[in-house]
C-alpha cells in the first residue's frame, strides 16, 4: 500500500530525529569516555606525585631505604596515606568483607601498580612488573635525587566508584536519547498532521471545484505559504464562480438576443405568406432592418470570440490619433445631428502619436458614437476631448442625460449587459459595443473606464500608450 504524504512526512521527521539523537548520543558517549579517562589519568598522576612526596618525606625521616626495603606493610600504608578513598570506599550492595577483592578492583591490601627504585635501579618496594614500559619520576629529598618512582604508562584501571559513575552516566544518556526519540515521534506526528491538514482540506476542495461546485471555499487560519495558497485557491474559486455566472448569463442573453429578431422575422414572413400583410417596400425594409440587426449581433459575437482566443487580427502602426479622431467625428456628425445631438470636439492641432491599429480604433470610436446616439436624449450634447501626457493619450467621451446608475458603472463593459432604465429593446443595440471597445483598448495595452459625466450622462475614459512609450 502506498504511503500518504502524512506518513512520509512523519517518517522523514522521525528518522531525522532518530539519526540526530543516535549521533548526539554516540558523540556524547565518546566525549564522556575520553574525558573521563583523561580525568582518571590526571587523578592517577596526582596520586603518584603525592606518593613520591610521601616517600621523600619518609626517606628524609629514616635516612635510607631500609624502612621500605621488603616492607609491604609500609608500602601499603604509604599508598593508603595518599589515597584516602581506600579508607572510606563505599562497598557494593551485598558485598561481604573477607571474601576476596572486589571485581575489577584492587583490594585495600593491594596498592596500585607502581615500583620504587633506588639510584642503582634496584627494586625497593612495589610491583617489579610495573617498572617495565613505565614512566619514572624522580624522588627528591632536599634537592637531591635519592630514587625513582615508576608507574605504567597505560591507563590505570577504574575504581569501582569510577566505573559505576561511568555506567550510570552512559545509562542516563541512553535513557535521555530514547526519551528524545519518543518525544520526536510525538512531535513529528502532530507536526505532520498540523501541516498537512490544510493541504488535505485544500485537496478535497479542489476536487469539489473540479466537479463544478464553484462556491467551494477553504478557511485560512495562517499567514504562511499554506495560508497564501488557500487565499489563492479562494480567489480562484471566486473567479471561476464569477465566470460561470457570466457564462450562464451570456448564454441566456445571447439566445434571447438571437431569438428576438428571428421571432420578428418569422412573424412578418408568416403574415406576408398568409396574406395578412402585403410585401410592400415598407414591410420588406422592416424585414431588412431585423436581418441587419441579427447580422450585427452575430458579427459582434464573432469578433468577441476571436478576441477571447487571440484570433482577432491587429495591424499596428505609428499614427496620429488626433487626425484619426477628427476624421471619424466628421463622418458621424450627420448621425448625431439626426438624433438632435450637439457634437463638441476638442482635438489638439499638434499630432498625438500612438502605436495602434487605425481600423480597430475607428471601430472603437464608431461604437462610442453609436452608444451616445442610442442612449442620449434628443437635444443633448456629446463632448469629445483628446489630450496627452508623458505616457498616454487620453480620449474622453462624454454625453448628456440620461446617466448610468453608480452600481451599473462597474458592469457596463460586460457582454450583453443592459442598464434597464435607459436601454430598452426599442432603442438598445446588441449590448456588445462597449465590450468590444474594452477588448480593443486592452489589445493596444491601454485601458477604458466608465464614470459619471459632468454633462449628466456617461463619461468613457480611454487611455492609449504614446508611440515612444509603446516602442521603448
Contact of 117 with 124, CB cutoff 8 Å: yes
Residue 432 pLDDT exceeds 60 = yes
pLDDT digit string (tens) for 107-134?
444 556 788 888 888 888 877 665 556 6
Residue boundaries of the structural domains of the chain: 1-88+108-209, 225-308, 317-471
pLDDT band of 183, cuts 50, 70, 90? confident
Backbone torsions φ then ψ of 330, nearest 5 degrees:
-60, -30
Choice among 93-97, 115-119, 191-195, 238-242 with the minimum mean pLDDT: 93-97
Choice among 64-73, 237-246, 294-303 with the minimum mean pLDDT: 294-303
Protein fold of 317-471: Heat Shock Protein 90 (3.30.565)
20-24, 43-47, 335-339, 383-387, range with greatest mean pLDDT: 383-387
**Distance (Å, rounded) from C-alpha 340 to C-alpha 378?**
5
pLDDT digit string (tens) for 219-252?
877 777 778 888 888 888 888 888 788 777 767 7
Q: Name the pTM for this structure.
A: 0.48
Taking domain 225-308, whether its CATH number is 1.10.287.130 is answered by yes
E-strand stretches of 178-314? none
Query: How buried is 300 (Cβ within 10 angstroms: 0-12 exposed, 13-18 middle, 19+ buried)?
Result: buried
Give the bridge partners for 464, in sequence order: 393
Residue 73 pLDDT exceeds 80 = yes
Backbone torsions φ then ψ of 315, nearest 5 degrees:
-125, 95
Number of H helices, E strands in the chain: 11, 11
Amino acid at each position: 500500500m502506498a504511503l500518504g504524504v502524512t506518513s512520509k512526512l512523519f517518517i522523514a521527521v522521525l528518522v531525522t530525529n532518530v539519526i540526530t539523537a543516535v549521533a548526539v548520543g554516540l558523540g556524547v558517549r565518546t566525549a564522556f569516555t575520553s574525558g573521563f579517562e583523561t580525568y582518571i589519568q590526571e587523578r592517577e598522576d596526582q596520586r603518584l606525585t603525592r606518593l613520591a612526596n610521601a616517600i621523600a618525606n619518609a626517606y628524609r625521616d629514616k635516612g635510607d631505604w631500609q624502612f621500605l626495603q621488603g616492607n609491604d606493610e609500609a608500602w601499603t600504608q604509604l599508598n593508603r596515606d595518599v589515597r584516602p578513598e581506600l579508607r572510606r570506599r563505599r562497598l557494593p550492595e551485598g558485598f561481604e568483607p573477607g571474601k576476596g577483592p572486589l571485581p575489577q578492583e584492587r583490594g585495600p591490601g593491594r596498592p596500585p601498580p607502581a615500583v620504587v627504585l633506588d639510584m642503582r635501579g634496584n627494586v625497593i618496594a612495589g610491583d617489579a612488573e610495573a617498572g617495565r614500559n613505565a614512566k619514572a619520576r624522580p624522588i627528591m629529598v632536599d634537592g637531591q635525587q635519592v630514587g625513582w618512582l615508576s608507574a605504567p604508562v597505560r591507563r590505570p584501571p577504574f575504581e569501582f566508584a569510577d566505573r559505576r559513575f561511568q555506567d550510570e552516566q552512559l545509562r542516563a544518556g541512553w535513557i535521555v536519547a530514547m526519551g528524545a526519540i519518543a518525544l520526536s515521534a510525538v512531535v513529528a506526528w502532530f507536526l505532520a498532521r498540523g501541516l498537512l491538514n490544510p493541504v488535505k482540506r485544500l485537496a478535497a476542495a479542489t476536487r469539489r471545484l473540479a466537479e463544478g461546485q464553484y462556491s467551494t471555499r477553504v478557511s485560512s487560519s495562517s499567514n504562511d505559504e499554506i495560508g497564501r495558497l488557500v487565499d489563492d485557491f479562494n480567489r480562484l474559486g471566486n473567479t471561476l464562480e464569477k465566470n460561470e455566472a457570466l457564462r450562464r448569463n451570456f448564454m441566456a442573453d445571447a439566445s434571447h438576443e438571437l431569438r428576438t429578431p428571428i421571432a420578428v422575422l418569422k412573424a412578418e414572413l408568416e403574415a406576408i405568406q398568409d396574406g395578412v400583410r402585403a410585401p410592400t417596400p415598407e414591410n420588406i425594409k422592416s424585414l431588412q432592418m431585423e436581418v441587419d440587426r441579427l447580422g450585427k449581433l452575430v458579427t459582434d459575437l464573432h469578433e468577441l470570440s476571436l478576441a477571447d482566443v487571440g484570433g482577432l487580427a491587429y495591424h499596428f502602426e505609428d499614427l496620429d490619433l488626433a487626425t484619426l479622431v477628427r476624421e471619424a467625428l466628421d463622418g458621424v456628425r450627420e448621425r448625431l445631428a439626426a438624433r438632435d445631438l450637439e457634437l463638441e470636439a476638442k482635438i489638439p492641432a499638434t499630432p498625438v502619436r500612438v502605436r495602434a491599429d487605425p481600423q480597430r480604433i475607428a471601430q472603437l470610436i464608431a461604437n462610442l458614437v453609436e452608444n451616445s446616439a442610442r442612449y442620449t436624449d434628443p437635444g443633448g450634447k456629446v463632448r469629445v476631448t483628446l489630450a496627452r501626457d508623458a505616457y498616454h493619450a487620453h480620449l474622453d467621451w462624454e454625453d448628456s442625460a440620461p446617466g448610468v446608475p453608480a452600481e451599473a458603472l462597474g458592469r457596463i463593459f460586460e457582454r450583453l449587459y443592459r442598464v434597464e432604465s435607459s436601454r430598452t429593446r426599442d432603442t438598445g443595440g446588441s449590448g456588445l459595443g462597449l465590450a468590444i471597445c474594452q477588448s480593443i483598448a486592452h489589445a493596444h495595452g491601454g485601458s477604458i473606464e466608465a464614470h459619471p459625466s459632468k454633462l449628466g450622462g456617461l463619461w468613457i475614459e480611454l487611455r492609449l500608450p504614446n508611440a515612444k512609450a509603446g516602442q521603448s
